[in-house]
Amino acid sequence: MGTEKKHWAKEVVRRTKQRDDIANSRFIQKKINRLLANIAKANATIIDFQLQLIDYWSYANSDALAQRVATLIAEKEKTNQSNAQIASSAPITTTTTAPSAITTSNVYKDPVRETVDRIESQILDYIYKNTSHVKKMFLSRIQLAKNEMEEFKS
Protein backbone atom coordinates (compact mmCIF):
# COMPACT_ATOMS: atom_id res chain seq x y z
CA MET A 1 0.00 0.00 0.00
CA GLY A 2 2.91 2.32 0.69
CA THR A 3 4.41 2.47 -2.77
CA GLU A 4 1.12 2.23 -4.67
CA LYS A 5 -1.16 4.48 -2.61
CA LYS A 6 1.45 6.64 -0.84
CA HIS A 7 0.23 5.52 2.57
CA TRP A 8 2.52 3.90 5.10
CA ALA A 9 1.07 1.93 8.00
CA LYS A 10 1.71 3.29 11.48
CA GLU A 11 3.75 0.19 12.22
CA VAL A 12 6.20 1.03 9.41
CA VAL A 13 6.37 4.71 10.31
CA ARG A 14 6.91 3.84 13.96
CA ARG A 15 9.83 1.53 13.05
CA THR A 16 11.50 3.82 10.49
CA LYS A 17 10.50 7.06 12.25
CA GLN A 18 9.87 8.77 8.90
CA ARG A 19 7.43 8.84 6.00
CA ASP A 20 10.08 8.81 3.28
CA ASP A 21 9.10 6.43 0.47
CA ILE A 22 12.65 5.28 -0.22
CA ALA A 23 13.52 4.52 3.41
CA ASN A 24 10.21 2.79 4.06
CA SER A 25 10.47 0.78 0.84
CA ARG A 26 13.95 -0.38 1.85
CA PHE A 27 12.67 -1.32 5.30
CA ILE A 28 9.75 -3.29 3.85
CA GLN A 29 11.98 -5.00 1.26
CA LYS A 30 14.45 -5.97 4.00
CA LYS A 31 11.61 -7.48 6.05
CA ILE A 32 10.28 -9.36 3.01
CA ASN A 33 13.75 -10.72 2.20
CA ARG A 34 14.21 -11.83 5.81
CA LEU A 35 10.84 -13.59 5.73
CA LEU A 36 11.68 -15.33 2.44
CA ALA A 37 15.04 -16.44 3.86
CA ASN A 38 13.32 -17.85 6.96
CA ILE A 39 10.81 -19.69 4.78
CA ALA A 40 13.61 -21.16 2.65
CA LYS A 41 15.51 -22.20 5.78
CA ALA A 42 12.40 -23.86 7.24
CA ASN A 43 11.76 -25.60 3.92
CA ALA A 44 15.33 -26.95 3.86
CA THR A 45 14.94 -28.17 7.44
CA ILE A 46 11.68 -29.95 6.58
CA ILE A 47 13.26 -31.62 3.55
CA ASP A 48 16.21 -32.73 5.69
CA PHE A 49 13.84 -34.22 8.26
CA GLN A 50 11.92 -36.00 5.49
CA LEU A 51 15.12 -37.59 4.22
CA GLN A 52 16.14 -38.61 7.73
CA LEU A 53 12.70 -40.12 8.29
CA ILE A 54 12.89 -42.11 5.06
CA ASP A 55 16.37 -43.36 5.98
CA TYR A 56 15.25 -44.34 9.46
CA TRP A 57 12.16 -46.21 8.27
CA SER A 58 14.13 -47.93 5.53
CA TYR A 59 16.70 -49.13 8.03
CA ALA A 60 14.19 -50.04 10.74
CA ASN A 61 11.90 -51.92 8.39
CA SER A 62 14.66 -53.64 6.40
CA ASP A 63 15.46 -55.85 9.41
CA ALA A 64 11.80 -56.70 9.95
CA LEU A 65 11.34 -57.30 6.23
CA ALA A 66 14.35 -59.64 6.14
CA GLN A 67 12.91 -61.61 9.06
CA ARG A 68 9.52 -61.87 7.33
CA VAL A 69 11.14 -63.05 4.10
CA ALA A 70 13.19 -65.66 5.97
CA THR A 71 10.04 -66.89 7.73
CA LEU A 72 8.13 -67.10 4.45
CA ILE A 73 10.96 -69.02 2.79
CA ALA A 74 11.14 -71.46 5.70
CA GLU A 75 7.36 -72.01 5.56
CA LYS A 76 7.52 -72.50 1.80
CA GLU A 77 10.28 -75.10 2.16
CA LYS A 78 8.27 -76.96 4.82
CA THR A 79 5.23 -76.92 2.53
CA ASN A 80 7.28 -78.16 -0.42
CA GLN A 81 8.78 -80.97 1.69
CA SER A 82 5.38 -82.08 2.96
CA ASN A 83 3.95 -81.92 -0.59
CA ALA A 84 6.86 -84.02 -1.84
CA GLN A 85 6.22 -86.63 0.87
CA ILE A 86 2.51 -86.75 0.04
CA ALA A 87 3.23 -87.00 -3.68
CA SER A 88 5.69 -89.86 -3.22
CA SER A 89 3.22 -91.88 -1.14
CA ALA A 90 0.17 -91.22 -3.35
CA PRO A 91 -0.63 -93.44 -6.34
CA ILE A 92 -0.05 -91.96 -9.76
CA THR A 93 -3.25 -90.97 -11.56
CA THR A 94 -3.74 -89.00 -14.72
CA THR A 95 -6.30 -86.26 -14.61
CA THR A 96 -6.77 -83.33 -16.91
CA THR A 97 -7.76 -79.98 -15.51
CA ALA A 98 -8.97 -76.97 -17.43
CA PRO A 99 -6.65 -74.01 -17.38
CA SER A 100 -7.77 -71.36 -14.96
CA ALA A 101 -8.86 -68.08 -16.49
CA ILE A 102 -8.49 -66.22 -13.22
CA THR A 103 -5.20 -64.45 -12.85
CA THR A 104 -4.22 -62.55 -9.78
CA SER A 105 -1.85 -59.66 -9.87
CA ASN A 106 0.25 -59.21 -6.82
CA VAL A 107 0.87 -55.51 -6.42
CA TYR A 108 3.71 -54.87 -4.02
CA LYS A 109 3.19 -51.81 -1.89
CA ASP A 110 6.21 -50.45 -0.15
CA PRO A 111 5.35 -50.33 3.56
CA VAL A 112 8.18 -47.87 4.21
CA ARG A 113 6.90 -45.39 1.64
CA GLU A 114 3.32 -45.69 2.90
CA THR A 115 4.39 -45.09 6.49
CA VAL A 116 6.56 -42.12 5.53
CA ASP A 117 3.74 -40.61 3.45
CA ARG A 118 1.30 -41.03 6.34
CA ILE A 119 3.70 -39.40 8.81
CA GLU A 120 4.46 -36.57 6.36
CA SER A 121 0.76 -35.83 5.94
CA GLN A 122 0.29 -35.81 9.72
CA ILE A 123 3.22 -33.42 10.12
CA LEU A 124 1.87 -31.12 7.40
CA ASP A 125 -1.56 -31.10 9.06
CA TYR A 126 0.11 -30.24 12.37
CA ILE A 127 2.10 -27.39 10.79
CA TYR A 128 -0.98 -26.05 9.02
CA LYS A 129 -3.10 -26.09 12.17
CA ASN A 130 -0.43 -24.59 14.41
CA THR A 131 0.58 -21.80 12.03
CA SER A 132 -2.92 -20.60 11.18
CA HIS A 133 -2.61 -17.97 13.93
CA VAL A 134 0.23 -16.36 11.95
CA LYS A 135 -2.02 -16.03 8.92
CA LYS A 136 -4.77 -14.50 11.06
CA MET A 137 -2.29 -12.10 12.66
CA PHE A 138 -1.04 -10.81 9.31
CA LEU A 139 -4.54 -10.54 7.88
CA SER A 140 -5.51 -8.42 10.88
CA ARG A 141 -2.42 -6.24 10.32
CA ILE A 142 -3.41 -5.71 6.70
CA GLN A 143 -6.96 -4.82 7.73
CA LEU A 144 -5.62 -2.42 10.36
CA ALA A 145 -3.42 -0.71 7.76
CA LYS A 146 -6.39 -0.36 5.39
CA ASN A 147 -8.50 1.13 8.19
CA GLU A 148 -5.71 3.56 9.04
CA MET A 149 -5.53 4.61 5.39
CA GLU A 150 -9.29 5.23 5.29
CA GLU A 151 -9.06 7.21 8.53
CA PHE A 152 -6.16 9.24 7.16
CA LYS A 153 -8.07 10.06 3.96
CA SER A 154 -11.14 11.35 5.80
Those residues whose C-beta lies under 8 Å from the C-beta of residue 67, and which sit 6 or more positions away, are: none
Q: What is the DSSP code (8-state) at residue 18?
A: S
Give the pLDDT of residue 65.
66
* pLDDT tens figures, 7-33: 667 777 777 877 777 888 888 889 889
How far is the C-alpha of 73 from the C-alpha of 28, rounded, in Å? 66
The answer on pLDDT for 45 being more than 70 is: yes
> Count of CB atoms within 10 A of residue 12's CB?
20
Q: Which tens digits make up the pLDDT trace of 133-144?
A: 888 888 888 888
Stretch among 31-35, 51-55, 59-63, 148-152 having the lowest mean pLDDT: 59-63
CB atoms within 10 A of CB 9: 19
Q: Once rounded to an integer, what is the mean pLDDT over residues 46-52? A: 85
pLDDT in tens, 66-121: 777 777 777 777 776 766 666 555 555 555 555 544 444 445 566 667 777 788 88
**Core vs surface per residue 110-136: b (16+ CB within 10 A) or e:** eebeeebeeeeeeeeeeeeeeeeeeee
Domain-wise residue ranges, the chain = 2-65+109-153
pLDDT class of 41 with cuts at 50, 70, 90: very high
* Predicted confidence band of residue 122 (pLDDT cuts 50, 70, 90): confident
Relative orientation angle of helices 21-89 and 111-130, to the nearest 10 degrees: 150
pLDDT score of 49 more than 80 = yes
